[in-house]
Chain A
Amino acid sequence: MKYIGLIITTAFIFVCLFFALNKKEQTLKSPLLNKPIPEINLDGLVEDDKLNNNNFKNEVILVNFFASWCVPCIVEHDFLFELKKQKPIKIYGINYKDNIKNLKVWLVKLGNPYSKIGIDKTGITGINWGVNGIPESFLIDKNGIIKHKINGVIDEKQIKILLSKIELLEK
């Protein structure tokens, strides 16, 4: 009987750790969550097609940081098309510290899921958005508020989460 206390305490600790772990999974933290998007003013792939804060209005938008040198981004690319197929949403690509020539070849080869592309040559925008390592994606609501962040590749599981979040935001 003496050991019941021990076992109950241990059980309690485990239950808490389990909850904490679950919670961690739901919100991979970004200090920018529920805050307006940081300033953005980037040249586009085509001349006069700038990407700036004015492009984030009245629409739910997915911002995706990527580069042609990033191998996981290749994996992610197909899933971005898959996402658009299931839900026609605007995806803005931010091309992170890349070589424009390589980028163009890359887009021709793999296709272009992006409605707009901003060129973040210096990586300053990446820093402002708190990007740790690409790919990373942000879901922005109609008022330009960051509602969700995905670290790493958007895959099937992430698409499901994204679809439910988008549905909520569009209501």
Chain B
Amino acid sequence: MVAIIGNISLICAALLSFYQFLNIRNINKVRVLNPDRTISLQFFFVLTAFFSLMYAYVVSDFSILNVYQNSHTAKPLLYKITGVWGNHEGSMLLWVLVLVFFGFLISKYDKRLDLPYKTLTLSFQSLITFIFLLFILLSSNPFIVISPVPINGQGLNPLLQDPGLAFHPPNLYIGYVGLSIVFSFTIARFYKGNFDASWAKLIKPWVLLSWSFLTLGISLGSWWAYYELGWGGFWFWDPVENASLMPWLCATALLHSTLVLEKRNALKKWTIFLAFLSFSFSLIGTFLVRSGIITSVHAFASDPTRGVFILMICAFFIFSSFILLAKKAGSIKEEKLISPISKEGAIVFNNLLMIALLLTIFIGTIYPIFLEIFTGDQISVGPPYFNLTATLIMIPAVLVMSFAPMINWKKDDLFGLLSRLKTVLFLSLLVTFIFFYINFQGPIIALVGIFLAAWLFFGTLFNFFEKTNYLKKLKDLNKTYLGMTVAHLGVAIFIAGITGSTLWKIEKIKTLKIGEKVLLNNYSLNFDKIKKIRGKNYIGHEAEFNLYKKNKFIKTLKPQKRFYPVQEFATTEAAIYSRGISDIYIAMSEPVDDSWLFRFHYSPLTPWIWIGSIMAFIGGILSFSHRMFKRK
């Protein structure tokens, strides 16, 4: 029954979206058909399909192959629900759900659009929906039934049974798919209207929304990896991580170039190109993750035939958009930018650095694939390449980022600017010096990191004070400006977090017997107890550590090692004591005779990585809400 409802809903949604796409032919007629109804219906049908699948998961309906392969009656309810998107088919359904949801949002709430342009945009959006629904129906259908009905399911990968997973993919998808709206807005503009400041104003909130959710989705994923995988790191330059970072970088560049287009009527072609590129990279990201072309720690089921399908979808959208741009580029007139010492100059500079970083990561990610085709060798490009190149590119970007908001449009005076930056420079050097004094064994690059973080932090704050006349005019402040300030401060905190976490981390790996202790920086950890634990669908061991600082008891930490019998899979649940400026981290491993193997980390500033990311998210949402809902 569920399977029938699901399949019919998907087919109805596909037909409706195709019908809406065909409406493009009628766009020049006097009366344009309002797309609201078809778009709402699309949303309704996909939602029905999604909830049918969720229902099948909740009641453990193993007659559906997808439920059988990814669920189990013993699984806690929360993970039955999140298990819906913990697999390829379900997650593609979520993808399309977000896609039609965005269409729905535009048709209902974006009052800034005139009817023909809205119809055109939503028709292109429907084409994307149609193609992805076709992909689901033909090669990734979650509603395939099996007979005889198995008694129980195979269970969900235990690593994915975690609150982090519950929210990581939906957020990431809002980000990815939000870029599809920007794509549709751009394509539609080639046929209705022109690329002027008003277009920049239209797409800006959607870019902001996608960017914010990409930021949140990526950081949730990284937080999940940090405490669930038990490796003690937050970023591994894994191809799948890169697949999410690339659209983010592109969206970051786009976010800033729309600003130039809005204020200076320039960078039109570049902005169009970035709008296309952002969506292209979210498609390529989907391809890299879903085709299994790259060996990754994110061991998703790989199926090359699906890969061919997604690759064809990528090729279709990327080529048609690039060719459209190439054909129409001649007719797009724009102002020339002149002065390098101007806000637009700084933005162009950072745009180029973002794209340079994007290409560097892209090359690092696909290089192993290319090498394998041409030579047959299998290699993996590791963190050393990415860390080095990313650091080198980010240093100048952050240097400029600090004062870019202070510079005037059109032209500014270099010496005036430098004299305004004196205070900022002094404060940043002071902070760097204090860090040097406290922790002088760190490598030089760590001091560079701290300097950059301080430079960005004080630069942003200084500009905020200037703008609000030292908080006297706080009420007059534009919310978009506030959003930018919060986001840039977030990036500063984030940089400090990365620096501390990667360069000052202390790691100890020790086998301990009960009663033994380990010293970590100023802390001492006493291994007091080990006990057996039993959860709903796992068994395992939990160790108890009492954490002391200078003989003063602070907290009991309980790392776990879990074993999931259904999947025969063990997971590590790290115990983390976070003080806001540093983390104590314990991950537990296998027993060796009567002692146990543990990994201890003292990671200074690590929580700042997530504090900074959340600030960036909040900043983005602030600007989004202001742009979207302000009264004219």
Residue ranges of A at the interface with B (Cβ–Cβ < 8 Å) = 2-4, 6-7, 10-11, 13-14, 16-25, 71
Q: Is the CB of B329 within 8 A of A3?
A: yes
Considering the chains assembled together, what is the distance between the CA atoms of A21 and B370 in angstroms?
11
Q: Is the CB of A18 within 8 A of B326?
A: no
| Neighbour of A7 across the interface among B308, B322, B373, CB < 8 A | B322
- In the complex with contacts A6-B322, A21-B308, A71-B146 CB distance below 8 A: yes
28 contacts between A and B (CB under 8 A): A3-B322, A3-B325, A3-B326, A4-B326, A6-B326, A7-B319, A10-B318, A10-B322, A11-B319, A14-B315, A16-B366, A16-B373, A17-B293, A17-B369, A18-B308, A19-B373, A20-B370, A20-B372, A21-B291, A21-B304, A21-B307, A22-B304, A23-B372, A23-B373, A24-B293, A25-B305, A71-B68, A71-B146
* Closest 4 pairs (CB-CB, A-B): A3-B326, A25-B304, A20-B369, A21-B307
Residues of B within 8 A of A4 (CB): 326
A3 to B, closest residue via Cβ:
B326
Residues of B within 8 A of A14 (CB): 311, 314-315, 318
A6 to B, closest residue via Cβ:
B322
- In the complex with contacts A3-B325, A4-B326, A20-B373 CB distance below 8 A: yes
Considering the chains assembled together, what is the distance between the CA atoms of A10 and B373 in angstroms?
17
Considering the chains assembled together, what is the distance between the CA atoms of A23 and B291 in angstroms?
13
Residues of A within 8 A of B370 (CB): 16, 20
Q: Is the CB of B293 within 8 A of A21?
A: yes
Considering the chains assembled together, what is the distance between the CA atoms of A13 and B359 in angstroms?
13
Considering the chains assembled together, what is the distance between the CA atoms of A3 and B307 in angstroms?
27
Q: Is the CB of B326 within 8 A of A20?
A: no
Secondary structure of the B side of the interface? helix
CB distance from B151 to the nearest CB of A (A): 9
Residues of B within 8 A of A25 (CB): 304-305
Considering the chains assembled together, what is the distance between the CA atoms of A5 and B314 in angstroms?
19
- In the complex with contacts A20-B373, A71-B68, A10-B150 CB distance below 8 A: no
Considering the chains assembled together, what is the distance between the CA atoms of A19 and B376 in angstroms?
12
Q: Interface residues of B, CB < 8 Å — how many?
A: 27
Considering the chains assembled together, what is the distance between the CA atoms of A2 and B330 in angstroms?
10
Considering the chains assembled together, what is the distance between the CA atoms of A11 and B307 in angstroms?
17
CB distance from A98 to the nearest CB of B (A): 14
Residues of A within 8 A of B372 (CB): 20, 23
Considering the chains assembled together, what is the distance between the CA atoms of A25 and B68 in angstroms?
25
| Neighbour of B293 across the interface among A7, A11, A20, A71, CB < 8 A | A20
Considering the chains assembled together, what is the distance between the CA atoms of A24 and B311 in angstroms?
14
Considering the chains assembled together, what is the distance between the CA atoms of A19 and B373 in angstroms?
7
Residues of A within 8 A of B325 (CB): 3
Q: Judge whether B233 is part of the interface by a CB distance below 8 angstroms.
A: no
Counting chain B CB atoms within 10 Å of each CB, which of A2, A3, A11, A20 scores highest?
Answer: A20
Q: Judge whether B292 is part of the interface by a CB distance below 8 angstroms.
A: yes
Q: Is the CB of A24 within 8 A of B292?
A: yes
Q: Judge whether B323 is part of the interface by a CB distance below 8 angstroms.
A: yes
Residues of A within 8 A of B373 (CB): 16, 19-20, 23
CB distance from A118 to the nearest CB of B (A): 20
Q: Is the CB of B318 within 8 A of A24?
A: no
CB distance from A58 to the nearest CB of B (A): 31
Considering the chains assembled together, what is the distance between the CA atoms of A4 and B319 in angstroms?
11
Considering the chains assembled together, what is the distance between the CA atoms of A23 and B329 in angstroms?
37
Q: Is the CB of B311 within 8 A of A18?
A: yes
Residues of A within 8 A of B307 (CB): 21, 24
B150 to A, closest residue via Cβ:
A71
Considering the chains assembled together, what is the distance between the CA atoms of A20 and B288 in angstroms?
12
CB distance from A119 to the nearest CB of B (A): 18
Considering the chains assembled together, what is the distance between the CA atoms of A7 and B305 in angstroms?
25
CB distance from A5 to the nearest CB of B (A): 10
B292-316 Cβ-contact flags toward A at 8 Å (1 or 0):
1100000000101101100100110
CB distance from A32 to the nearest CB of B (A): 15
CB distance from A156 to the nearest CB of B (A): 14
Q: Is the CB of B304 within 8 A of A24?
A: yes
